[in-house]
Amino acid sequence: MPAISIRIGNGFDVHRLEAGLPLILGGVKLEHSKGSVGHSDGDVVTHAVIDALLGAAALGDIGVHFPPTDNSIKGIDSMMMLEKTMAMLIDNGYIVSNVDVTVVCEAPKLSPHYLAMRKRLAEVIGLDVSQVSVKAKTAEKLGSIGEGNAIAAYAVALIAEED
């Protein structure tokens, strides 16, 4: 068994977008005509990060720990879910090295919000902002995402056993 255990996990989330709902990404509320439909606040960025962290630690997935059938967490702030996920990782002896997220959407333009999302995620995970990356791509007008009816995020997280 190696002296250091380094693990990588990946996460993915997608939500439908509807008019009149807030759009929250990486814990940051953005101005947009549509927002995410979800059991929680619909934050696809944070949900993908949670799944990446849980996957790296082999602790299941977001649906296991925050099931959509649990009405006590209806509308929950995804940052609270991330805090609970971090507590699980720490309890299991892991530290996070870095997180990288790619958001896929047609609108709104996300680059003006990258730093705010990175800072918020870094704050909750306990990292320096330089250890958190957020970037975006379009779907080139293809499918539900390309038509502006959905938003998705992919995340990768690197964790290690704490000494």
How many whole angstroms separate alpha carbon 94 and alpha carbon 75? Answer: 28
Domain count along the chain: 1
- Residue 1 located in a structural domain: no
Beta bridge partners of 153: 13, 103
- Residue 86 located in a structural domain: yes
- For residue 154, what are the domain limits? 6-161
Is the pLDDT confidence value at 160 over 80?
yes
How many whole angstroms separate alpha carbon 158 and alpha carbon 97? Answer: 5
- Residue 62 located in a structural domain: yes
Residue type, 162: E
Q: Which residue's structure tokens are 């998705």?
A: 152
What's the pTM?
0.96
Residues 142-152: tens digit of each pLDDT: 999 999 999 99
- Flag the least confident range among 47-61, 66-80, 100-114, 126-140: 66-80
H-run or E-run covering 4: none
Q: What is the pLDDT of residue 162?
A: 81
Q: Residue 4's pLDDT band (boundaries 50, 70, 90)?
A: low
Domain of residue 40, CATH code = 3.30.1330.50
- Residue 38 located in a structural domain: yes
Q: What is the pLDDT of residue 3?
A: 57
